[in-house]
Amino acid sequence: MSEKNERKVMLVPCSGIGKVHGLIGREAVFRVAGELRPQDTELACLAEIVTQDKEIRERMNGRLTITVDGCPKMCAEKNVRLVGGEIFTSLRVVDAFRTHRGAQAGSATELTSDGWQISDELADRLALKVDEARQGGNKDA
């Protein structure tokens, strides 16, 4: 692994299939990895982590990781910890809804304008967390 790659922050979105919260989280992560911080991040697939795939464990070894979970079950965070990933912080989509009470975010397959707004705000927050991780900021508990 190159030195540049080692400094990249690993992003792990929840799978959240069947829930709008999962879609919002995934879209936020994809925006950060594809547009906001493409040189600073790398995506990891939760399914590979859950199956404890050897390659993903090796890629995650010693890498700061940010998880984005759709619900309070925190599946992404829990599974990253199970494979020995180093969590920098974990974000929850349900927390983003606190400032959007009553928002109609969409469905598991399509976001409304409210859903895109929440996802974009989450992406902006996630991008700042990536910056903190790369600058050696303090990890969350």
Segment 121-137, tens digit of pLDDT: 999 999 999 999 999 86
Q: Which amino acid appears at position 15 of this protein? A: S
Mean pLDDT, range 33-60, rounded to an integer: 93
> Taking the domains of the chain in order of start, what are their residue ranges?
3-133
What pLDDT shows up at residue 140?
63
- Is 111 in a helix, a strand, or coil? strand
The pTM of this model reads 0.90
Residue 88's closest CA among 133, 24, 39?
133
DSSP labels, 26-87: HHHHHHIIIIISTTTEEE--HHHHHTT-HHHHHHHTT-EEEEEESSTT-HHHHHHHHTT-EE
Burial class (CB in 10 A: 0-12, 13-18, 19+), 129: buried
What pLDDT shows up at residue 136?
84
Topology at the third CATH level for domain 3-133: Rossmann fold (3.40.50)
